[in-house]
């Protein structure tokens, strides 16, 4: 029996991802640290509708799945490559759906992923950015006080601030909320696209017109 581990899509070591600010420590260890690989697969990719209208931001991993399924094609790529057992694929920076998708003009579904996206993976108390795995959701008004799980009462929070706040309001815990939480609308999504677009010049021609 072949006991060799099965290889999935993975980035080639020693190659950075253009347009995304690298972590100094991760970059230094990129050549020999497997932990640095997921950062490439989770890097942001701009998603365009079939009409070239920007509609979403997804991760490299999801973008590659869409491309392999024939649902989307790459419009812009980076210099990084990922490898399957049979071929190498350039990591996309911008992809376009091959069929037009109607995007309803309404708020996104309330979910952990969308809360973190709205808050830019930044703790809303200490203002430090973290990987998604190091963030939790906090009820500004605790559930024990009648706080509900809504856009206006949920924020991204690091574990240290979450423990510090405990079952109290920010005022009672002596910490300040960075900004008032609001629903994630299409307008919010476009603002985030433009924010990320400042770091990746390949996005700009699709966002600023």
Distances (CA, A) of 188 to 120, 168, 181, 192, 194: 11, 29, 12, 6, 10
Tens of pLDDT along 48-71?
999 998 888 888 999 999 999 999
| Number of domains present in the structure of the chain | 2
> Is residue 14 included in any domain, yes or no?
yes
* Rounded distance between C-alpha atoms, residue 153 and residue 200, angstroms: 32
State whether 97 and 20 are in the same domain.
yes
Bridge-partner residues for 92, per DSSP? 77
State whether 77 and 131 are in the same domain.
no
State whether 130 and 160 are in the same domain.
yes
State whether 95 and 192 are in the same domain.
yes
State whether 168 and 194 are in the same domain.
no
Owning domain of residue 140? 112-173
Tens of pLDDT along 85-133?
788 889 999 999 999 998 766 557 788 988 988 898 999 999 999 998 9
State whether 116 and 97 are in the same domain.
no
State whether 139 and 161 are in the same domain.
yes
């Amino acid at each position: 029996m072949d006991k060799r581990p099965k290889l999935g899509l993975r980035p080639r070591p020693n190659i950075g991802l253009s347009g995304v600010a690298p972590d100094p420590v991760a970059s230094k260890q990129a050549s020999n640290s497997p932990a640095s690989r997921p950062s490439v697969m989770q890097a942001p990719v701009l998603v365009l509708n079939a009409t070239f209208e920007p509609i979403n931001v997804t991760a490299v991993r999801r973008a590659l799945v869409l491309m392999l399924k024939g649902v989307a094609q790459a419009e812009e790529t980076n210099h990084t490559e990922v490898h399957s057992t049979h071929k190498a694929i350039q990591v996309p920076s911008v992809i376009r759906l091959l069929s037009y998708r109607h995007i309803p003009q309404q708020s996104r579904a309330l979910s952990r992923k969308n809360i973190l996206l709205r808050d830019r993976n930044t703790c809303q108390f200490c203002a430090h950015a973290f990987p998604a795995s190091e963030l939790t959701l906090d009820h500004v008004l605790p559930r024990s006080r009648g706080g509900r799980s809504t856009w206006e009462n949920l924020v991204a929070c690091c574990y240290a601030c979450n423990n510090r706040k405990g079952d109290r309001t920010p005022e009672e815990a002596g910490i300040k909320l960075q900004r008032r939480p609001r629903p994630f609308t299409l307008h919010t999504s476009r603002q985030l696209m433009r924010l990320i677009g400042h770091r990746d010049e390949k996005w700009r021609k699709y966002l600023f017109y």
